[in-house]
Amino acid sequence: MSKLTLGTHPFLLGFDQLERLVERTAKTENGYPPYNIEHVSENAFRITLAVAGFADEDLSITIEDRQLVVRGAHASEDDERVFLHRGIAARQFQRTFLLADGVDVSGAALANGLLHIDLARSVPDKVVQTVRIEKR
């Protein structure tokens, strides 16, 4: 007897990529920069990343194959500064979030070292749809 996985279960048609998406997302997890995800309303979310020391021109937000990709890289490093202690991370980063179908970025703002990315889920007009049967 073979084991049924989530992607091969006969009642879950079209979900065959779900396991691959979960595995891909789990592999990209690291700790920098820290972030929060808030449920703002029924169909709205907010991702907040702590990006202290990054200016808006150092950050980029793109959507690539249903993945929200946030990248941060300092334009140029000031080599003349001498640090006695350096506790604020200034390294470049890439943080990805997998977006479900129907979830889109509605805006982004940088304030007080926090990057806020607002997401909105589009609600379909019809929840129930009738399919007409044709005679052949």
pLDDT of residue 90: 74
Ranges of CATH 2.60.40.790 domains, the chain:
32-121
The pair of three-digit structure tokens given for residue 4, joined into one six-digit string: 């049924």
Predicted local distance difference test score (pLDDT) of residue 121: 92
Q: How high is the pLDDT of residue 2? A: 57
Per-residue pLDDT of the chain (136 residues; tens, 9 = 90+): 555 566 566 666 666 666 666 666 566 566 789 999 999 999 999 999 999 889 999 999 999 988 999 999 987 666 688 889 988 777 899 999 989 888 999 999 999 999 999 999 987 776 777 788 888 7
pLDDT at 122: 87
* Predicted local distance difference test score (pLDDT) of residue 128: 79
Residue 78's pLDDT is 63
Task: Please provide the CATH number assigned to the domain covering 32-121.
Answer: 2.60.40.790
Give the pLDDT of residue 82: 86
The pLDDT score that the predictor gives to residue 31 is: 79
Q: How far is CA 39 from the centre of its chain?
A: 14
Give the pairing of strands 67-72 and 59-64: antiparallel
